[in-house]
Amino acid sequence: MNTFEWTNPTSVAEAVKLLRVEQEGAAARDQDGVPQPLGGGQDILTTMKERITRPARLVNLKGIRGLDKIEGNARRGLRIGALVTLTQLEEHSEIRRGFPGLAEAAQSIATPQIRNLGTVGGNLCQRPRCWYFRLEQVVCLKKGGTECYAAVGENKYNAILGGGPSYIVHPSDLAPMLIALGASVVVEGPSGKRTIALDKFFTLPKEGNVRRENVLNNDDIITEIQVPASAMAARSTYLKFKERSSLDFALSSVAAAVEMDAGGTVRQARIVLGGVAPVPWRAPDAEKSLVGKRLDAGTLAEAARLALQGAVPLEKNAYKVPLTQTLVRRALAKVGGATTA
């Protein structure tokens, strides 16, 4: 690990100042020397120990008061501070009752020890898990090199949708569920506060800077996540398939939320896939296909087909297509109250 400065701001304004990069055009948060914020430290300290990132300064956000609160309920919507831990989310009674998919997504992550420390802001901004990215010696496209080694190498865990020129999959389990619930993030930087819909927050490698995963500038921090009250929140779920142990990231996951009318047909639906694309992957055609329908086997199968349309598997990850289709069917059957899918 390189030497670095540890700072403990007590206000958002002070944190933003400490994150400022003096040189023009500092491109990526992981560029050597760029100061970085620290939430629970569950990802950033690992990347530093493994010499994948070398910030000259860490800006510890945990001394900033008021960012560790959850406010609201199903009627008013939620305001979740960026320093709220995954355990707080998972155990919050209003969330368990009114936004069950969000509690399930938090509970699906890693171990109780990691959930006790990992924060919501850090979970959304954690770096990708691609093996090549995590190996110090490998300088792939995402680390400033010229090649994506996963494209033709070990790509069992990589993207089947939206990939290229990097084929990472987005690692956060909270992100797909929060997008399905229509959440936004409040970001604070040198020019003040702005609110960004979470489905506009993450960026595809082909859309912008391949070294970044979201629209944050170096001196921006997330301070809050807002989840609106919605008729879909109570019928929300998060299903995640892990390969081996509770520590595993999603091979594939599905966040689903629906509103049903009294006659048992779907009024509106959201489906967001995790573990299959560089960003949480919304499936709008599948969502539309459900409107006005009962959630019977034929409707579920068609929605699952549409959700994966456009998938282009790499050599070793075609298994993700049927796996994700099964999760889509099961998630919709669960929120619709069916017993099998």
Q: Which residues contact ligand SF4 by CB under 6 A?
A: 128, 130, 132-133, 140-142, 148-150, 158, 166-168
- Report in angstroms how near the CB of residue 244 gets to ligand SF4 at its nearest: 21
Residues 205-224, interacting with ligand FAD (CB under 6 A): 221-222
Please count the helices (runs of H) and the strands (runs of E) in the chain: 12, 12
**From CA 231, how far away is CA 113, in angstroms rounded?**
33
Phi, psi of 287 (to 5 degrees): -60, -50
Structure tokens, 267? 């009024």
* Vertex 20 angle, CA 19 and 26, to 5°: 105
- Report in angstroms how near the CB of residue 102 gets to ligand FAD at its nearest: 13
For residue 235, give the amino acid letter. R
Among 21, 38, 181, 233, binds ligand FAD (CB under 6 A): 38
Among 77, 81, 128, 171, binds ligand FAD (CB under 6 A): 171
**From CA 268, how far away is CA 260, in angstroms rounded?**
7
Q: Is 126 in the site for ligand FAD (CB under 6 A)?
A: yes
128 binds, among ligand FAD, ligand SF4, none (CB under 5 to 8 A by kind): ligand SF4
Among 35, 81, 101, 121, binds ligand FAD (CB under 6 A): 121
For residue 85, give the amino acid letter. T
Residue nearest to ligand FAD (CB): 122
332 binds, among ligand SF4, ligand FAD, none (CB under 5 to 8 A by kind): none
Q: Identify whether the C-beta of residue 122 lies closer than 8 Å to the C-beta of residue 185.
A: no
Q: Is 39 in the site for ligand FAD (CB under 6 A)?
A: yes
Peptide bond into 165 cis (omega under 30): yes
Number of residues that bind ligand FAD (CB under 6 A): 31
**From CA 211, how far away is CA 208, in angstroms rounded?**
9
- Binding piece for ligand FAD, criterion CB under 6 A, among 132-140, 167-175, 256-264, 315-323: 167-175
Residue 96, CA distances (Å) to 27, 233, 240, 272, 273 in order? 40, 11, 17, 20, 21
3-state SS assignment for residue 176: helix
- Report in angstroms how near the CB of residue 144 gets to ligand SF4 at its nearest: 10
Q: Identify whether the C-beta of residue 154 lies closer than 8 Å to the C-beta of residue 131.
A: yes
Comparing CB distances to ligand FAD, the nearer of 122 and 205 is 122
- Report in angstroms how near the CB of residue 261 gets to ligand FAD at its nearest: 33
Residues 289-328, interacting with ligand FAD (CB under 6 A): none
**From CA 23, how far away is CA 43, in angstroms rounded?**
26
Comparing CB distances to ligand FAD, the nearer of 148 and 222 is 222
- Binding piece for ligand FAD, criterion CB under 6 A, among 37-45, 87-95, 146-154, 295-303: 37-45
Residues facing residue 256 across a β-bridge: 237, 271
Residues 47-86, interacting with ligand FAD (CB under 6 A): 61, 82, 86
Q: Identify whether the C-beta of residue 323 lies closer than 8 Å to the C-beta of residue 241.
A: yes
- Report in angstroms how near the CB of residue 235 gets to ligand FAD at its nearest: 23
CA 61 to chain centre: 20
Among 12, 16, 78, 110, binds ligand FAD (CB under 6 A): 110
Among 44, 233, 258, 332, binds ligand FAD (CB under 6 A): 44
Q: Identify whether the C-beta of residue 228 lies closer than 8 Å to the C-beta of residue 239.
A: no
**From CA 143, how far away is CA 210, in angstroms rounded?**
9
- For residue 161, the 8-state DSSP code is S
Comparing CB distances to ligand FAD, the nearer of 29 and 295 is 29
- Report in angstroms how near the CB of residue 265 gets to ligand FAD at its nearest: 33
Q: Which residues bind to ligand FAD, rule: CB under 6 A? A: 36-44, 61, 82, 86, 109-110, 114, 117-119, 121-123, 125-127, 171-173, 221-222, 247, 249
